[in-house]
Amino acid sequence: MGGNLASPPNGRMKLPRHTELARQVLAHLEGWGFPTEVQRRLGVLIVVWGVFETNLEVALWALRGEQVEGVRPSTDKTQLSAWIKELGGPWPNLPDEAQAVLETAARTADDLMQYRHSVLHGWMLPSPTMPTFIRNPRWHGEDRKRPSHDAHIDENLLDMAVAAAWTLCQVVIAVPAVCADPAKMTDLVDLKSDVARAASSANELRHLTALMNDDKY
């Protein structure tokens, strides 16, 4: 059962074929400018963004006071971009300070979403120092429905992305608790400075090409 477990003559266990191939791919990516630490951060960004997306939906239910048990939630009909826009409000049931946090978080999420989408859906341009993904290019003269976006990749930039995504997670996880118990409002309001920092990072990630072409950058 489970195949032949006998050790090869050199005493080392033979790796499964899929493991060998996976390691070859990882090594190949290093040659494209994706060393181990960059690969690790890319994986973390994808996971943390997924945590944000799923908790964002629950946060919107809480903000709307929507009861979803046994029914199709309103979010089931809309896309992530609409969720992010709605997060920014206005929400009359929240004090101004909490509303401001959500407005900034929504701008942050929109910028970071464009960066993340470029990584997952863009053309990859290898580089020994900073690979780049470009989404919706017009290299063949084609007309695109959506604007082009790019994502530059290195350890520092990915650290900025991961930190921003994690802050967004904290925001949307705090929202349902705040809606259930207004006494916990400080849990959301106290994220103001972290969200402002995340907003700056996400905006830089989204517009880095333009910034690098600016003499002041």
pLDDT digits (tens, 9 = 90+) for 155-195: 999 999 999 999 999 999 999 999 999 999 999 999 999 99
Residues 6+ apart with CB under 8 A from 53: 80
Structure tokens at 135: 């989404």
pLDDT digits (tens, 9 = 90+) for 96-146: 999 999 999 999 999 999 999 999 999 999 999 999 999 988 888 888 888
Cα 179 to chain center, whole Å?
A: 25
> What does each C-alpha distance from 173 to 50, 51, 104, 157 come to in angstroms?
13, 10, 16, 25
Structure tokens at 52: 């944000």
With beta carbons less than 8 A apart as the criterion, state whether 118 and 149 touch.
Answer: yes
Which is more confidently placed, 172 or 148?
A: 172
- The radius of gyration computed from the CA coordinates of the chain, to the nearest angstrom, equals 21
Closest C-alpha to 84, from 66, 111, 47, 50:
111
